[in-house]
Amino acid sequence: MNKGLNPLLARQLRKHGLDEQLPPDAAIWSNLLSVIDQAYRDADQERYTLERSLAISSEEMHALYQNQKSSYARLRTLFETIQDLVWLKSPDGVYLTCNPMFERSFGAKEAEIVGKTDYDFMDKKRADLFRERDRTALANGGLSVNEEWVTFADDGHLAAVEVVKTPVHDESGQLIGVLGIARDITDRKRTEAELRIAAVAFESQESMMITDADGVILRVNQPFTKINGYTSEEAVGQTPRLLKSGRHNADFYRAMWETLQRTGAWQGEVWNRRKNGEVYPGWRSISAVKGGDGVVTHYIGALSDMTERKAAEESIENLAFYDPLTGLPNRRLLMDRLQQSLASSARSGRKGALLFIDLDNFKDINDTLGHDIGDLLLQQTAQRLESCLREVDTVSRLGGDEFVVVLEGLSEHALEAAAQTKTVGEKILATLGQPYQLATHEYHSTSSIGATIFSDHGQSGGDLLKQADIAMYQAKKAGRNTLRFFDPQMQVSITARVSLESELRKALENQQFHLHYQIQVDSSHRPLGAEALIRWIHPLRGMVSPAQFIPLAEETGLILPIGLWVLETACAQLKAWQQDALTRDLVLAVNVSAKQFRQADFVAQVQAAVQHHAINPILLKLELTEGMLLENIEDTIATMNALKEIGVQFSLDDFGTGYSSLQYLKRLPLDQLKIDQSFVRDIAIDSSDKAIVRTIIAMAQSLDMDVIAEGVETEEQRQFLLDEGCTHYQGYLFSKPVPIEQFEALLKQG
């Protein structure tokens, strides 16, 4: 007997002997039909049909049955081809039917499944779970949905399925069982998982933005807002130009787009601008997203803020190259800089110096006031050292209380470089010797300095450091708070120079300077005048040559009072000569040094001297050298013109040793060119000197200036000069520079 078949229909079928021919699950199909196909939705209509059927013929009944049977067949086909798992269980959990998909998952045929329960196929726990779910579906009376993972018994593949369970009733309302339909949602799950991962990734640490193919921003994440300052609302609809810093040119963006289009990706360092205007370094990577057809649909841009990384890199670099306590370069950076200084010295020919500075009795401060106070002293020492030096010099801390200074670009001459080094060293000693305020303590400290001069290659940084260190110990031995040079010869010279300098300072007040006069004559030996040349008569040293003390006087600035003294003395002499017909017309030439000439009140000084002594200014001739005039041409011309107003004359001393061009000489109000003695010396034997002298004479004539030759020692020289048209001479041939009494005696001899 077919259970569950519409009772009226069943009875009818039985009457016609047809019921036995129905497939075993026809009863189920009949009910499924009512559920799914809606064929029997209208119960009244059916009842009517059935009632009518009571009266119909068996042929009619058979036709009806056939009709219904083909309807079952259609449904069965549908049921079997459907890709979902479909099954029907009785309210007690007994399988009533299932489709081939379900068979695959169970690994059994329908005939083996029907009449059995889940307990026959799986462990109790899982069967209990399914049973529970069926009960829930039954209790709900409606749809109940679950998701679970199913391993297909036939091929072992794992699939995620969404299970929909529905209680099924026949048209009389009687419960038939639970219909289960399970759909494979593995792909959907995978996509969902990927989306979830993408969503998490999108909200990662990095600033991200998604744009469409035209670069319009569609979406930005939280870090984007945090880093750039623009909210999602502000950014969406804009383009990445929103972040443009202006630090990259069009070529940069062109290259970026070119790479992006060619390879689908770009990454690199960019400068961006935050909403608050701040520009920051970032690492940007852009990827193009392409659709199935290969056409770009979106761009994804990731951006990380490198400000902190850069700062971290810098602080790492700082640690590696700088002393954390003082912020000064450490030994490593010092050696590096020293190497560069050595190379640059080899190129330029200029000397450099290395000073090793050690604080005197530093241990005491640590022992008495503690290390914190000691640290304060080191920090202040570092600051003071920096204040003593130029930008190009290096101050470093080797460790402890040892500091090293590298001076660059000093003089090409070792002795002068040593003098410059000494000046700096003394400045350092004085500066470090000032009292310190260390927290509440006032503290006095001194230092000892060892110095060494370096020039060309050959010397290593390490050697220099050792030399300066040795010299520093000598400074300590010498009683501290002093400077010593490594080179003993240099030390001797420097010591000599130091004493010379201190004596030079006293020379003026002690009236140790004198003027000597060297006669200048014309071609008939008639005196034209004299050059005033300074002499230093030292009580112990005797006569010191100006070649020895003039450079020192220039370096120390002593040349200013000395030069003024010369000017005053010369004017006084000119005044004295006014009284005598023999000397009344003599012109006195005075040497003027660069420093002196550059003084703001030099013109005033000359004017005052001329007025004070009431001399005829035309008798005063200022000797200038080429080098000092070239320094600042416009100022030079202005000063010279102002002096010219007073009425004094100019002679260009040591002419030919500089680089004056005719062009430039034309602009200077000069009266005379003085041929340097170096050309005169070899005039008889050296053809190039001859040529030079000839040229100078021709130049002077074309410029309408006098020309005088200095250092004329022989008659031969004089003759040559005369032949070339030079008629004024100065030199030992006529007289050496002599004191005034001798000079005047010379004049009287005639």
Summarize as ranges the residues that interact with ligand C2E (CB under 6 A).
Answer: 518, 533-534, 545-547, 550, 563, 566, 591-593, 623, 653-654, 677, 710-713, 731-732, 737
| Residue 231 contacts which entry, Mg ion, ligand C2E, none (Cβ below 5-8 A, type-dependent) | none
Task: Work out how close the CB of 654 gets to Mg ion at its nearest, in angstroms, rounded to a whole number.
Answer: 4
Q: Give whichever of 20 and 509 is closer to ligand C2E, judged by the CB atom.
A: 509
Count of residues engaged in binding Mg ion, rule: CB under 5 A: 4
Task: Work out how close the CB of 588 gets to ligand C2E at its nearest, in angstroms, rounded to a whole number.
Answer: 11
Q: Give whichever of 546 and 647 is closer to ligand C2E, judged by the CB atom.
A: 546
Which helix H or strand E contains 678, and what residues bound it? helix 677-681
Q: Give whichever of 337 and 621 is closer to Mg ion, judged by the CB atom.
A: 621
Residue 65 neighbours by CB distance under 10 Å = 19
CB 497 within 8 A of CB 485: no
| Residue 428 contacts which entry, ligand C2E, Mg ion, none (Cβ below 5-8 A, type-dependent) | none
Task: Work out how close the CB of 700 gets to ligand C2E at its nearest, in angstroms, rounded to a whole number.
Answer: 17
- Among the listed residues 119, 92, 107, 88, the one whose alpha carbon sits nearest the alpha carbon of residue 25: 88
Question: What is the DSSP code (8-state) at residue 47?
Answer: H
Task: Work out how close the CB of 520 gets to Mg ion at its nearest, in angstroms, rounded to a whole number.
Answer: 11
Give the Cα separation of 276 and 226 in Å (integer): 12
Residues 6+ apart with CB under 8 A from 230: 220, 224, 238, 242, 275
The interface region with Mg ion, picked from 272-280, 358-366, 385-393, 584-592 by CB under 5 A, is 584-592
Residue in the block written with tokens 């009785």:
90
- Among the listed residues 235, 209, 226, the one whose alpha carbon sits nearest the alpha carbon of residue 308: 226
Task: Work out how close the CB of 538 gets to ligand C2E at its nearest, in angstroms, rounded to a whole number.
Answer: 15
Candidate list 623, 689, 706, 724; residue touching Mg ion; CB under 5 A: 623
118 binds Mg ion (CB under 5 A): no
Q: Give whichever of 30 and 717 is closer to ligand C2E, judged by the CB atom.
A: 717
Tokens representing 102 are 């379900």
Q: Give whichever of 301 and 711 is closer to Mg ion, judged by the CB atom.
A: 711
Q: Give whichever of 469 and 654 is closer to ligand C2E, judged by the CB atom.
A: 654
Task: Work out how close the CB of 591 gets to Mg ion at its nearest, in angstroms, rounded to a whole number.
Answer: 5
Helix ranges (H only) for 43-123 are: 43-55, 58-81, 100-106, 110-113
Q: Give whichever of 160 and 747 is closer to ligand C2E, judged by the CB atom.
A: 747
Helix ranges (H only) for 247-348 are: 250-263, 307-321, 331-348
Candidate list 46, 305, 323, 654; residue touching Mg ion; CB under 5 A: 654
Q: Give whichever of 162 and 671 is closer to Mg ion, judged by the CB atom.
A: 671
Phi first, then psi: give them for residue 623, nearest 5 degrees: -95, 120
467 binds Mg ion (CB under 5 A): no
b vs e for 445-460, b when ≥16 Cβ sit within 10 Å of the residue's Cβ? bebbbbbbbbbeeebe
Helix ranges (H only) for 433-581 are: 461-477, 488-507, 546-556, 559-577
Task: Work out how close the CB of 377 gets to ligand C2E at its nearest, in angstroms, rounded to a whole number.
Answer: 45
Tokens representing 626 are 């080429």
User: Contacts with Mg ion in 264-323 (CB under 5 A)?
Assistant: none
Candidate list 206, 653, 706, 724; residue touching Mg ion; CB under 5 A: 653
Residue 500 neighbours by CB distance under 10 Å = 18
Residues in the chain: 750
| Residue 724 contacts which entry, ligand C2E, Mg ion, none (Cβ below 5-8 A, type-dependent) | none
Give the Cα separation of 294 and 45 in Å (integer): 59
Task: Work out how close the CB of 325 gets to ligand C2E at its nearest, in angstroms, rounded to a whole number.
Answer: 49
Return the residue nearest ligand C2E (CB atom): 731
Q: Give whichever of 152 and 565 is closer to ligand C2E, judged by the CB atom.
A: 565
Residues 6+ apart with CB under 8 A from 652: 623, 624, 625, 626, 629, 660, 665, 668, 670, 672, 673, 674
| Residue 563 contacts which entry, ligand C2E, Mg ion, none (Cβ below 5-8 A, type-dependent) | ligand C2E
Q: Give whichever of 376 and 500 is closer to ligand C2E, judged by the CB atom.
A: 500
| Residue 264 contacts which entry, Mg ion, ligand C2E, none (Cβ below 5-8 A, type-dependent) | none
Give the Cα separation of 72 and 9 in Å (integer): 15
Which helix H or strand E contains 478, and what residues bound it? none
Question: What is the DSSP code (8-state) at residue 119?
Answer: G
Q: Give whichever of 178 and 673 is closer to Mg ion, judged by the CB atom.
A: 673
Give the Cα separation of 516 and 444 in Å (integer): 50
b vs e for 674-689, b when ≥16 Cβ sit within 10 Å of the residue's Cβ? bbbbebbbebeeeeeb
The interface region with Mg ion, picked from 30-38, 141-149, 150-158, 654-662 by CB under 5 A, is 654-662
591 binds Mg ion (CB under 5 A): yes
| Residue 731 contacts which entry, ligand C2E, Mg ion, none (Cβ below 5-8 A, type-dependent) | ligand C2E
Task: Work out how close the CB of 736 gets to ligand C2E at its nearest, in angstroms, rounded to a whole number.
Answer: 7
Q: Give whichever of 417 and 534 is closer to ligand C2E, judged by the CB atom.
A: 534
Task: Work out how close the CB of 535 gets to ligand C2E at its nearest, in angstroms, rounded to a whole number.
Answer: 7
The contact set with Mg ion (CB under 5 A) reads 591, 623, 653-654
